Structure 1
Amino acid sequence: MSPSDANLKDIRARLGELVTGRKIVLMGVGNELRGDDAFGVWLGERIEHRIPQRVFVTHDLPEDYAVKAADLRPDIVIVLDATNFGGEPGEKHLVAARDVPPTPGVTHRPSLEMMARFIELDAGAETWVLGVQPQMDSVGVGSEMSAPVAAALDALEAMLLEMLLAAEA
């Protein structure tokens, strides 16, 4: 098993513990003009096509969707985002929103913190970030998404769709 496969297996197990029997909302965050920073937007859009009622694609303005997400009264809000946590490009992680470190070149970090706090206070929902480590030279304006982040995008899409569709059945 490759380190990437083991990482995905760990994420699946942790996410399964969090979401089982709970109402989930996903928020895809990022900027499509900034390469790897588009990760959350693209993942949100892909899932939104299959499960539209539980996904908000917020781009780099997650706070604009906080009230809509809270109005659904979720138990868990999962923010899909590229975040720099010091891993290898494409490495996946699941972390409480309050523990997300700042990511240079990412414009929505302060609003992510405020949005998570609002949702926790208003809806009583836990807010988590399901993210990927960006390749730091692929977050500038006009950058393309790096191959490791694109691979993580595909893997997380398959995993999330499988888990969320099974929960609806």
Structure 2
Amino acid sequence: MKTLVIGVGNDFRGDDVAGLLVARRIRELNLPHVQVIESDGECTKLMENWKDAEKVILIDAVHSGATPGTIHRIPAQDLPPKLLQCSTHAFGVAEAIELSKAFGQLPARFSIIGIEGSAFTVGAALSEPVANAVIEVVGLVLQEIRTEEKIYWPSRASE
């Protein structure tokens, strides 16, 4: 099975870069059976990217009012309406998920990981809580990939 990892964000809007940073770190690992895409969150591009995927892990910054750095993890099929309104992209991730559901094109295995941010203005720096959450989310994504793909990495003891 191939896993599609989609990092959504904007390099120039502070904490909004979180999803992209996670995707870049996963890409650097060059894992077999894992495709990594960076996205600006545009609705139709997202739908096109995941339409034939078996498993999707999407990472995006959110602004729900929770403490910055909070990690929200939920299957796309169960995405609560409140969280749909929390993405920092005007018409994108939430709408793409809802449209894909309506058309019966949402992959059955679709996880969303949202990283709560606080600094989204143009030119803002990545906040420390979000930077720390990025590291944690990379681990969560790798754990999910390892489980799904049955990938076994050698332990340090075997080196």
TM-score of the aligned structures, taking structure 1 as reference length: 0.70
Given that 2:43 and 2:95 are in contact with CA atoms closer than 8 Å, whether structure 1 keeps it comes out as no
Task: Tell me which of 20, 24, 44 is aligned to 1:63.
Answer: 44
- Residues of 1 paired with 2:85 and 2:106: CA distance? 25
Kindly indicate whether residue 123 of structure 2 is the aligned counterpart of residue 142 of structure 1.
Answer: yes
Residue 44 of structure 1 aligns to which amino acid in structure 2? A
Could you say what secondary structure the match of 1:122 adopts? coil
Q: Which runs of 4+ in 1 moved over 6 A?
A: none
- Residues of 1 paired with 2:132 and 2:28: CA distance? 19
Q: Relative to 1, partners in 2 of residues 1:161 and 1:84: Cα closer, same or farther, differing over 3 Å?
A: same
Equivalent position of 1:129 in the other structure: 112
Encode CA deviations 1:38-76: one digit per residue, 9 max, x unaligned: 10111112112223743221123253132232123x1x4
- Residues of 2 paired with 1:165 and 1:94: CA distance? 17
- Residues of 1 paired with 2:99 and 2:17: CA distance? 24
Equivalent position of 1:156 in the other structure: 137
Q: Which structure features the higher share of helix residues?
A: 1
Q: Relative to 1, partners in 2 of residues 1:147 and 1:62: Cα closer, same or farther, differing over 3 Å?
A: farther
TM-score of the aligned structures, taking structure 2 as reference length: 0.74
- The range that moved more, 140-149 or 109-118, is 109-118
Bigger Rg, structure 1 or 2? 2
| Aligned length, in residue pairs | 142
Equivalent position of 2:93 in the other structure: 112
Residue 116 of structure 2 aligns to which amino acid in structure 1? Q
- Residues of 1 paired with 2:16 and 2:62: CA distance? 8
Equivalent position of 1:36 in the other structure: 15
Given that 2:2 and 2:34 are in contact with CA atoms closer than 8 Å, whether structure 1 keeps it comes out as no
* 1:142 to partner: Cα distance: 0.3
Unaligned runs of 5+ in 1: 1-21
- Residues of 1 paired with 2:84 and 2:49: CA distance? 25
* 1:162 to partner: Cα distance: 3.6
Among the aligned pairs, what percent are the same residue? 24
Unaligned runs of 5+ in 2: 152-159
Could you say what secondary structure the match of 1:152 adopts? helix
Equivalent position of 1:54 in the other structure: 35
Given that 1:69 and 1:119 are in contact with CA atoms closer than 8 Å, whether structure 2 keeps it comes out as no
- Residues of 1 paired with 2:4 and 2:38: CA distance? 11
Given that 2:8 and 2:20 are in contact with CA atoms closer than 8 Å, whether structure 1 keeps it comes out as yes
* 1:111 to partner: Cα distance: 1.7
- The range that moved more, 80-89 or 111-120, is 111-120
* 1:126 to partner: Cα distance: 4.9
Q: Relative to 1, partners in 2 of residues 1:123 and 1:103: Cα closer, same or farther, differing over 3 Å?
A: closer
